[in-house]
Amino acid sequence: MSLLLHPERRRPTPPPERVDLRRVILLGIIVWSVALVVLSILALAGQPTGGAVAVCLAGIALGGIGLLWARRHRDDPTN
């Protein structure tokens, strides 16, 4: 409660952690690709997959867009 009454006593906010987003996005693309392979095998085996294959393709496509975005904003000091 004292911090609400006296906000000047709070410690300063730490700076944001620098993260290589390309690695994170690539990991996501790999996971979606593995899921796509598994679902494709299931579909070939006759199991119903619904729209899951399309979801995996969309995840891979969005990951590609994310890679382009990360490349464009790589040297941006505000990120």
**For every one of its 79 residues, what pLDDT tens digit does the chain have, with 9 covering 90 and above?**
777 788 778 888 889 888 889 999 999 999 999 999 999 999 999 999 889 999 999 999 999 999 999 988 876 655 5
Q: Is residue 9 part of a domain?
A: no
Question: What integer pLDDT is reported at residue 78 of this predicted model?
Answer: 56
Q: Is residue 11 part of a domain?
A: no
Q: Is residue 54 part of a domain?
A: yes
Residue 18's Cβ-count burial label (10 Å; 0-12, 13-18, 19+) is exposed
Question: What integer pLDDT is reported at residue 75 of this predicted model?
Answer: 67
Q: Is residue 3 part of a domain?
A: no
Q: Quote the mean pLDDT of the chain.
A: 89
* 35, 54 contact by CB (below 8 A): no
Question: What integer pLDDT is reported at residue 16 of this predicted model?
Answer: 87
Number of domains making up the chain: 1
**Domain around 46:** 19-79
